[in-house]
Chains A and B, each alone.
Chain A
Amino acid sequence: MKSIKVALVGTPNVGKSTIYNALTHSHEHTGNWPGKTVGVSKGECVYQDTLYTFYDLPGTYSLISKSQEEVVATDFIVFSSFDVAVVVCDATSLEKGINLVLQTKEICRNVVVCINLVDEAKKKGINIDYKLLEKRLGSIVVPTSARDKEGLTELIGAIKHSQNKDFLDIDYGVLNKLIEEAAINIKTDEYNPKWIALKILENNKYYINKLNKLGVINKLNEQDIDYDVNLEVVLKVAKKAKEILKNVISYERVNYDAKERKIDRILTSKIWGIPIMLAILFGCFYITIIGANYPSSLLFNFFSSLEGGIIKFLEFIHLPALVIDLLVNGVYKTLYFVVSVMMPPMMIFFPMFTFLEDLGVLPRIAFNMDRAFSKCKACGKQALTMCMGIGCNAVGVTGARIIDSKRERLIAILTNIFMPCNGKFPTLIAVITIFFVGFNKKYGSVICALILTGVIFLGILLTFLVSYILSKTILKGEPSSFTLELPPYRMPNIIDTIKYSVKDRAIFVLGRAVKVAIPAGLLIGIIANVKINDVSILRYLVNFLDPVGLVLGVDGVIILALLLGFPANEIVIPIMLMGYLNTNALIDMDNLNVLRDIFVNNGWTIKTAICFITLFLYRFPCSTTLLTIYKETKSKFYTLLSVVIPLFIGIILCLIVNCIFF
């Protein structure tokens, strides 16, 4: 079978990943903000007897790189072997894309131009003459609307038929003579000597070293150059792009983005900007709580009603009583608690969150909050990683790659834990409902959502505080430059959003929780049943941890649950319940409302609840997040710091609460 390797290049946020997903049937998540894709992903598809391998590169404004993801893209285009480069452009802002096309054609012989988002351009009254553009560029131009899967067959056809051409020759004016002189010492068939000459003139150490090692550059002449090479290059490429686009684009309306600006004015207004952000957050929580309430108790009642039958069945097949107890009270109860309490809120919150992400709201939040980050000498894009952290801290940590400066990236990674992740919400909702709201039918959900919003608000304040302290101590430094594109609002494909968030996010996270819940339930069951001197191991552990708990305003069972819940936040409550039920074995759980009785019978008060929430929020990142932090920082020190900082804050807060309630 014939095989073609394709590199997908494009400026950030033009829908490259959407095209990649549609072509390869993958489910890489596409968010509406720049920098969502941070590594190179690879996917394949077979179409009419040809195997296509696609490499989705991170978005890049130019091929003269600065940030981590742009180096990844440029390196791939220059040094990897592939057949065709597809440059994806945004039809609503073509000039930026054409700049990148020209730069790509300078270093790559076979280029196909894909103009995406043509549906959006049409809506805005932007008309593009594709035939004229194709003629001027000398590359095949394919209009697509990847979200609606339009134009993709044509794109595949263009990739198949696209031919190798000469490297693009751009007139660099005053630099031409210098380029010629430098090119004498360059020997290569593979790369464009003119591009290498430019790297030498720019004194780009990274590429000079790399090409030197490959034996491409024979010798380097030290030259004093009077020109600002970078500026000249950019100006000449931009001039060329303008020439190419002359008469290619026409606008039907002058104010084609007036509506968008109006929405932006409201979302970022001086008075309403911040309250609207908090209101959106509150709204999401409110809908989650209201929506999850009923399905939760339905699932719970369903699973607990099966309990009797399961016990009867296990007795019927003559399992020993001890094993039945382990399986039912240990594994089954933990499992169904995780499923019924955790699943409904996730199924509701994740799609809403993904919707906001795809719509393009998150960059506006970063825009509103940047001033505060700049005061803390951090980067405004940290707000984006915080939003991702609400989904999952591990994702937030990885997402910190969008921040260029290493110092600011580390701050974002170390403080991400202050945003409670989605896996913590159901537990928080349960405890808040029991101890602060009661079962007030009328306003219960409102109060609960308000408290949750307050928890996020506290997290934001702590993020600022810790960022500031880090900037003054371990990670000293001044803020680097901050540039953030505010992309146009895009109405997401609702079905795709729901499909993605349920399948790839909620089920994935839940699956992880269930996987942990089974062995954890078993472990608890075992240590509760194995006895030394007539006292169970669980009792010993709880008694051992009780003094620690007492100091922090909780008890030994809670501490044990928080420790054993390290692999997944979702299993903390079930472990706690197992602990209480197995040490006292008083109440049988047949209803969610019994939760309160169990807690209260084991000495929980308002103070216990506050201290539990505090420790639950700020103990240490879950195992997945911790691993991700280590992978991203490659430093044991910073990984340790990511545990110590929240733990320290959690303990301090608990001690304060203890003093207040003493």
Chain B
Amino acid sequence: MRLDNINLNDYVTIINVFGDTSIKRRLLDLGFIPGEEVKCVLISPFKDPKAYQVHGNVIALRNIDAHNIEVQNEVN
């Protein structure tokens, strides 16, 4: 599953980050690191971008960029 597919308030864990070097680098810098927990906290009025909570920060990503992040549902 990709990050842009998750619903509001869903908790997921990052498995992998894809994409070309610059976007990948930027996503990693912002804390979208494999193993990290992410929650979708906000959806903008036009459904894109969405904001995710990671590392205690809230970061807005366009769906096309969030699609680079592979995630799986939290296993409790």
Contact = CB atoms under 8 A, between A and B. Distances in A.
Contacts of B46: 371-372
B48 interface: yes
B6 interface: no
A80 interface: no
B60 A367 contact: yes
B22 A61 contact: no
Nearest to B19: A481
A481 B66 CA distance: 10
Contacts of B42: 261, 264-265, 268, 367, 486
B45 A273 contact: yes
B15 interface: no
B27 A483 contact: yes
**Most chain A C-beta atoms within 10 Å of own C-beta, residue among B23, B27, B36, B58:** B58
Given A230-B24, A481-B22, A486-B60, A96 B55 contact: yes
Contacts of A485: 30, 57-60
B71 interface: no
B43 to A, nearest CB: 8
A95 B33 CA distance: 12
Interface residues of A, number: 41
A372 B49 CA distance: 10
Nearest to A95: B55
Interface stretch (A231-239, A524-532, A615-623, A626-634): A231-239
Interface in A119-175: none
Given A270-B43, A370-B44, 6 more contacts: A64-B25, A238-B35, A268-B43, A367-B42, A483-B60, A485-B57
Interface in A363-395: 363, 366-368, 370-372, 374, 380
Contacts of A93: 55-57
Contacts of B51: 264, 268, 367, 486
Contacts of A363: 60
A200 to B, nearest CB: 16
Contacts of A486: 42, 51, 58-60
Contacts of B58: 264, 485-487
A636 B41 CA distance: 44
B25 A230 contact: yes
Contacts of B45: 268-271, 273-274, 368, 371
Q: Name the 5 nearest CB pairs between A and B, nearest first.
A: A93-B56, A371-B46, A61-B29, A273-B45, A486-B58
A482 interface: yes
Contacts, number: 117
Contacts of B35: 235, 238
Contacts of B36: 238
A459 B58 CA distance: 29
A268 B44 contact: yes
A484 interface: yes
Nearest to A478: B64
Nearest to A486: B58
Contacts of A368: 44-45
B44 A367 contact: yes
A92 interface: yes
Which label, helix, strand, loop or mixed, suits the secondary structure of the B interface? mixed
Interface of B: 17, 21-31, 33-36, 41-49, 51, 55-62, 65
B56 A481 contact: no
A483 B26 contact: yes
A368 B43 CA distance: 9
Nearest to A63: B29
Contact of B23 (A270, A271, A370, A481): A481
A238 B47 CA distance: 31
Contacts of B25: 64, 66, 230
Interface in A225-269: 230-231, 234-235, 238, 261, 264-265, 268-269
A62 interface: yes
A66 B29 CA distance: 10
B49 A380 contact: yes
Contacts of A264: 41-42, 51, 58
B33 A482 contact: no
Contacts of A231: 17, 24, 28, 34
A270 B28 CA distance: 29
Contacts of A66: 22, 25-26, 29
Interface in A289-338: none
Contacts of B27: 483
A371 B50 CA distance: 10
A484 B56 contact: no
A564 B28 CA distance: 52
A96 B57 contact: yes
A374 B62 contact: yes
Contacts of A261: 41-42
Contacts of A95: 31, 55-56
Interface in A52-105: 61-62, 64, 66, 92-96
Contacts of A96: 31, 55-57
A41 to B, nearest CB: 23
A524 B23 CA distance: 56
A238 B34 CA distance: 10
Contact of A481 (B26, B28, B34): B26
Contacts of B33: 234-235, 238
B24 to A, nearest CB: 7
Interface string A458-490: 000000000000000000000111111111000
9 contacts: A64-B25, A96-B31, A264-B41, A264-B58, A269-B45, A371-B49, A483-B60, A485-B59, A486-B42
